[in-house]
Amino acid sequence: AQSVTQPDIHITVSEGASLELRCNYSYGATPYLFWYVQSPGQGLQLLLKYFSGDTLVQGIKGFEAEFKRSQSSFNLRKPSVHWSDAAEYFCAVGAGGNTGKLIFGQGTTLQVKP
């Protein structure tokens, strides 16, 4: 069965520092992969997604993610974090079939130090 693991429950980085949030998935075929961000009082917002093609995907707000099939990973990166990036980040994988269902990881809380 498909699954997603985000190994880091909580990460703290200094403003201006680089960021990498880890995501590992379990899926038999080529996965559909997503990163969402959840800020308090707001709905989850899609940062980026990967279906096929170039394994380095650019998203909004300066985020990027790299799909590595050999490592079953889809890590999210940002070269320089801003205080406004503090939020909950979720990695998700398509559940298969044609339903569009998503399976979410446990989430990583990002705290940004001034």
Which residues of this chain interact with other proteins, rule CB under 8 A? 32, 34, 36, 41-46, 49, 51, 90, 94-107, 109
Closest distance to other proteins from the beta carbon of 8 (Å): 13
Nearest C-alpha neighbor of 28 from the set 95, 103, 98, 92? 95
- Least gap, CB of 18 to other proteins (angstroms): 25
Minimum distance from residue 104 beta carbon to other proteins (Å): 5
**Between residues 78 and 107, which has the closer beta carbon with respect to other proteins?**
107
- Nearer Cβ to other proteins, position 10 or 114? 10
Q: Which is nearer to other proteins, 11 or 15 (CB)?
A: 11
**Choice between 18 and 45, CB closer to other proteins:** 45
